[in-house]
Amino acid sequence: MVHWLAKAPQTHFIFNDLVDGKFVSVIFDMAAKTRRIVPHPVSAVSADGKWAVSINYARLRLTRPDYGYGGSGQDARSDVTWPTDDGLWLVNLESGEAKLVVTIASVRDRMPQVKDPKALAYFCHTVFSRDGSRIFWLARSVENLSTRR
């Protein structure tokens, strides 16, 4: 999850990391050889480099092991199929502040019903529109997780 940031000259990029036991993103300036920690991992960055989207990578690991991050860097909320406190976060890359803009629970009526009480709904494949005014993402669910672990 490396993204170039739109700054002139283009010497800044952002990547996800594990710092002090938490999933974060790191903004690195190649010219100055400095790094700044943003307290949320990112999955997409706006074209102007001011905003990012964050999702729960620990939850993603349970549903899509090839894309998620292992370890205890985030609470996967694995005991809740439709959490009201997790989903799509909009992150201000200058301040590091994040706002939950779409909860996983809020899309429940727009997704196929799950029968497995241990199923997990999750978000993935995020992208900003070219002008940064919209965010696209996929909302998915997985049943029979016990066979995936």
Which ranges in the chain belong to alpha helices (H)?
Answer: 57-63
User: pLDDT of 5-56, one tens digit each?
Assistant: 986 578 999 999 999 999 999 999 999 999 999 999 999 999 999 999 999 9
- Does 118 score more than 80 pLDDT? yes
Longest dimension (CA), the chain: 53
For residue 83, the model assigns a pLDDT of 97
- Res 142 pLDDT > 60: yes
pTM of the model: 0.91
Please give the backbone phi and psi of residue 63, each rounded to the nearest 5 degrees, phi first.
-100, -35
pLDDT beyond 80 at 146: no
Tokens 């594990």, residue located? 18
